[in-house]
Amino acid sequence: MSPRKKTPEKENKEFKVRGYIEGAGEVVEQKIVTTIKDNFMPYAMSVILSRAIPEIDGFKPSHRKLLYTMYKMGLLSGARTKSANIVGATMKLNPHGDSAIYDTMVRLSRGYEALLHPYVDSKGNFGKFYSRDMAWAASRYTEAKLAPICSELFKDIDKDTVDFVDNYDNTMKEPTLLPATFPSVLVNANTGIAVGMASNICSFNLREVCETTAALIRDPDHDIKSTMPAPDFSGGCPIIYDEKAIDNVYQTGRGSIKLRSKYQYDKKENCIDVLSIPSSTTVEAIIERIIELVKSGKVKEISDVRDETGLDGLKITIDLKRGTDPDKLMAKLFRLTPLEDSYACNFNVLIAGVPRVMGIRELLNEWIAFRIECVRRRTYNDLQKKSDKLHLLKGLEAILLDIDKAIKIVRETDEEAEVVPNLMIGFGIDETQAEYVAEIKLRHLNREYILKRTEEISKLEEEIKDLQAILESKARVKTIIVKELKDVAEKYGQPRKSMLLYLNEDDYEEDVEEVPDYPVNIFFTKEGYFKKITPQSWRMGNTHKLKDGDEIIDHIETTNNCELLFFTNKCLVYKAKASDFTETKASAMGDFIPAKLSMEEGESVVKMILTKDYKGVLLFAFENGKVAKVPLSAYETKSNRKKLTGAYSDKFPLAGIAFALEEQEFLLTASSGRMLLLHSASINAKTTRNTQGVAVMKLKKGQRLFSIKPYEEGTFSKPSRYRTRSLPALGAMPSEEDTTEQLSFI
């Protein structure tokens, strides 16, 4: 019996009952432009405008929300409170999790030591900016309050100096900017990574910034470097002064500044104590790099290195071997480790909601314009309040003429609602003044009280006149800003922490390590083992220890300062120096090159080349009969690179590599047995390493080029038989005279 078929109505009913959604799982085509516009662009703009890029007051939204919350909690004065309380309160403004808020507080704290002038006065373990592994304590264990300098951030914030907006749930207001009385955007370092852009502002000395800003207000053409010569970093590491680099940063807002660690030599303990490091690195990264250099044999003067950071601050101790020159060692470490590093500057700041990369002068001018607006708004707010107060006192002054009349009007008025209108009629004052008079307590209806209050009228009139003059004069506003800057500099200014190092050009030259140069024998095996043996050791024992099936394919007499190039089957070339390898004996297995040079799995060495001056040419023979000629100089690099990609073409399988210092003949052998003598001068050299070469040997279907070797005179009785005038050529089969014994080397 066949199964009953379901009706369409029943199928549709069952479809809905099971919870399926019509159209779910269908692939709908949509233009990628539309997707980016509708989904990605709003996210990108949110990150740029509301998260990662600081504004002209020097703060990101997360910083501003945290500091304003602490200000409203009354933490500008008084005792500290638990950090957890601050984090919880900040969540009313910041919709992110408590972990992100606490991380923000840590980075602004005195204990973290990342800022020249910390905004958070902390107590407890807040970690350290120079340590990657030193974790800060949880928020329930630490305490915090606002640092005294924050009073300059919130000065007159209640006088309409900045705009306020609703928070994310419209339950309270928060400031869009903080009316900082000094250019905080340059005083403390700030880093942010947005979408498609980033910001990295280094810190400058507070006193120097204030002096420079004041001078710039008085003279727009002021020489900024005369009062603010260079940045200043909280760690106190010296700055290698490069005038061109500083000028580039000051003018464009982009560039890099070299920082060098500060150290001292302890002669008694024969050790170097590193006391400050660049802010772009960490203690752990430096120690790991030094250990790596010692293990690889590049630095042999160090016996131990350790982190001795404690209550006295950062300290990396490097124990030296006897007879080591500490200054020469540090010069080498500066070159090879992050003990000397560059700080990449990118002065990207949001101005009126638009990200702009600005130089120092432009950035300070923007801050001056912002501060002028703050002072004008504050002045206008004060003017309005004083004008309102004067208006009330004018009404009070009118009552002074006849207090008894005022009392009589109030007493004889039948209804309370008529008191204010009757006072307005009786004294000729407006409703606001009448309301103020009507609210005066009975005890204050005496001549003494009223005289004391009305004495303020002349004082208020003078103050209002002065405030109006300030609003009408831009010069007066600038004078106020300059005075505030001087007050901040005197109150919170500190001596410069980062000293400037003026080095000669010779000091920038890399210290070339003196490699002892002496004769050595280089051996390389088919399986990839490498041996460096001195002539004395070779004479004492010349019986090699090899793996089963392995054999020596290269034996070269050279010196210890030669360079080695190892070409692999993955079209890569690894570069090394003979001095990088330790001396061994013939009875040892030697160094396994794939492991020594950290090659990939399955990667093996095809050819080893030795050179001192990168002279000569390489011939790459491919199985399709083509040969590429590349000068060895194409593999020379100015930097100390260890691996180069694209060492040769990967379009066809490689048959072999041959090297010659000068033009000469090479013997090519095909799988068919045919041989061809090729003079390297007949092929033009190509500077591109991965060139496919030119056709040299004609091959029939199924045949392939087998090998390429330098030709040795006497190998053939009639070598002209194997030569050709034009390429490509078939080559020739070996003649009877050219016996197998003569060709045994092939």
CB 437 within 8 A of CB 429: yes
The answer on pLDDT for 174 being more than 70 is yes
DSSP 224: H
pLDDT, position 9:
55
b/e sequence 434-470, b meaning 16+ C-beta within 10 Å:
bbbbeeeeeeebeeeebeebbeeeeebeebbeebeeb
Kindly report the number of other CB atoms within 10 A of residue 562's CB atom: 18
- Please provide the size of the chain in residues: 746
pLDDT, position 515:
64
Range(s) within the chain of domains with CATH label 3.30.1360.40: 262-338
pLDDT, position 300:
87
- Rounded Cα distance between 12 and 33, Å, is 37
The answer on pLDDT for 14 being more than 60 is no
The answer on pLDDT for 216 being more than 80 is yes
- Rounded Cα distance between 59 and 66, Å, is 11
Q: Quote the tokens at residue 580.
A: 């990088």
pLDDT, position 419:
86
Q: Sheet harboring 340-346: ordered strands across?
A: 190-193, 198-201, 340-346, 254-260, 239-240, 500-501
For 347, the 3-state DSSP assignment is coil
Task: Tell me the mean pLDDT in the region 700-713.
Answer: 88
Q: Is 676 exposed, middle or buried (0-12, 13-18, 19+ CB in 10 A)?
A: buried
Question: What amino acid occupies position 214?
Answer: A
DSSP secondary structure, 556-614, as one string? EEEETT-EEEEEETTS-EEEEEGGGSPP--TTS--EEHHHHTTPPTT--EEEEEEESS-
Beta carbons within 8 Å of 204's beta carbon, 6+ residues apart: 186, 187, 228, 231, 232
20, 141, 508, 518: the active-site residue: 141
Task: Tell me the mean pLDDT in the region 142-157.
Answer: 95
Q: Is 604 exposed, middle or buried (0-12, 13-18, 19+ CB in 10 A)?
A: middle
pLDDT, position 744:
44
Active site residue 141: yes
Range(s) within the chain of domains with CATH label 3.90.199.10: 59-176
- Rounded Cα distance between 397 and 395, Å, is 5
Range(s) within the chain of domains with CATH label 2.120.10.90: 613-746
- Rounded Cα distance between 412 and 107, Å, is 68
pLDDT digits (tens, 9 = 90+) for 123-141: 999 999 999 888 899 999 9
Question: What amino acid occupies position 124?
Answer: G
Give the CATH number of domain 59-176. Answer: 3.90.199.10
User: Residue 238 to residues 258, 342, 409: CA-CA distances in angstroms?
Assistant: 9, 12, 79
Identify the weakest region by mean pLDDT among 148-152, 245-249, 501-505, 590-594: 501-505
DSSP 700: -
Q: Is 134 exposed, middle or buried (0-12, 13-18, 19+ CB in 10 A)?
A: middle
pTM: 0.68
pLDDT confidence of 246, banded at 50, 70, 90?
very high
pLDDT, position 23:
65
Range(s) within the chain of domains with CATH label 1.10.268.10: 365-492
CB 524 within 8 A of CB 553: yes
pLDDT, position 438:
84
pLDDT, position 6:
53
DSSP 729: B
Q: Is 51 exposed, middle or buried (0-12, 13-18, 19+ CB in 10 A)?
A: middle
CB 125 within 8 A of CB 136: yes
pLDDT confidence of 723, banded at 50, 70, 90?
confident
pLDDT digits (tens, 9 = 90+) for 26-52: 777 878 888 887 888 888 888 888 788
613-746 has which fold? Neuraminidase (2.120.10)
Residue keyed to tokens 């004082």: 459
The answer on pLDDT for 743 being more than 50 is no
262-338 has which fold? Gyrase A; domain 2 (3.30.1360)
- Residue with the bigger pLDDT between 322 and 75: it is 75
Kindly report the number of other CB atoms within 10 A of residue 520's CB atom: 24
For 655, the 3-state DSSP assignment is strand
For 730, phi and psi rounded to 5 degrees? -75, -30
Domain 365-492, CATH among 1.10.3130.10, 1.10.268.10, 3.30.360.10, 3.30.420.10? 1.10.268.10
pLDDT digits (tens, 9 = 90+) for 484-523: 999 999 999 999 999 999 876 545 444 455 567 788 999 9
The answer on pLDDT for 446 being more than 90 is no
CB 533 within 8 A of CB 589: no
HEC sequence for 2-46:
CCCCCCHHHHHHHHHHCCCCCCCCCCCCCCHHHHHHHHHHHHHHH
